[in-house]
Structure 1
Amino acid sequence: MLTKKNLQELVKDELATTAQEAEAAVNVILEAIRSELEKGESVSIAGFGTFSVVERSARKGINPKTKETIEIPASKNVKFKPASKLKNSVNK
């Protein structure tokens, strides 16, 4: 599994930079993605995929313990659609 810490190490090694500079670079990229998604914009990375915000409308649900009907409020969720290049790479 690739974690943020592992990603920072990869950047540090690949760019032959310091750990602090690698951490800053990773943080800038992640913050830029988060910021755009907060604005409701999509983020497209060529050859990788697209992150977008989808809105879920309010709906009724059922509490599985009590079988009581509950109201689930509207919410926003992040969706990722992989690029065909990424799909093909994973499916090799």
Structure 2
Amino acid sequence: MTKKQLAKQLANELNLKQIDSYEYATKLFSLIAEELENGNKVEISDFGVFKPITTKSRTGFNPITKEKIEIPAKNTVKFKVSKKLIKTVK
């Protein structure tokens, strides 16, 4: 499902204008991203938890030249699905 499709479904189910529901969805995702950027986790009941993490730097290798390379640490996001959502999907 795309953001546009999500907005359309929200508009239908909540009796909103599609443009309004699209703006709400956009703002929701922006707020989640902003919290993660600030190093905060985002918990959504019965859905899951978005958590910012920093991976450790590590040594890898170039598969073509076989030479060792240093893979730097980086910031990323981890998502843990709630137990309720897992049960719903099963």
Number of equivalent positions: 90
- The corresponding residue for 2:89 is 90
- C-alpha distance in 1 between matches for 2:4 and 2:18: 10
Render the CA deviation track for 1:33-91: whole Å, top value 9, x for unaligned.
00000001000000000000111111110011110101111101111001110011112
Structure 1 unaligned segments of length 5 or more: list them: none
Correspondence for 2:50? 51
The alignment's C-alpha RMSD in Å is 0.8
Tell me the amino acid that sits aligned with residue 67 of structure 1.
Answer: K
The equivalent residue for 1:65 is: 64
Q: Structure 2: give runs of 5+ residues left out of the alignment.
A: none
Q: TM-score, normalised by structure 2?
A: 0.95
Task: Say which SS state the counterpart of residue 78 (structure 2) adopts.
Answer: strand
| Cα distance between partner residues in 2 of 1:19 and 1:47 | 26
Q: 1:1-92 counterparts in 2 under 5 A?
A: 2-91=1-90
Distance in structure 2 (CA, Å) of the matches to 1:14 and 1:43: 25
SS in 2 for 1:7: helix
Aligned partners of 2:4 and 2:19: how far apart in 1? 11
The 2-side partners of 1:88 and 1:76 are apart by: 30
Distance 1:80 1:23 in 2: 23
Tell me which amino acid in the other structure corresponds to 1:49.
G
Provide the identity percentage.
39
Instruction: Provide the rounded CA distance (Å) in 2 between the counterparts of 1:12 and 1:81.
Output: 28
Instruction: Please give the alpha-carbon distance, in whole angstroms, between the structure 1 residues aligned to 2:4 and 2:23.
Output: 12
Q: With the length of structure 1 as denominator, give the TM-score of the two structures.
A: 0.93
Q: Once the 2 structures are TM-superposed, how far is the Cα of residue 18 of structure 1 from its aligned partner?
A: 1.0
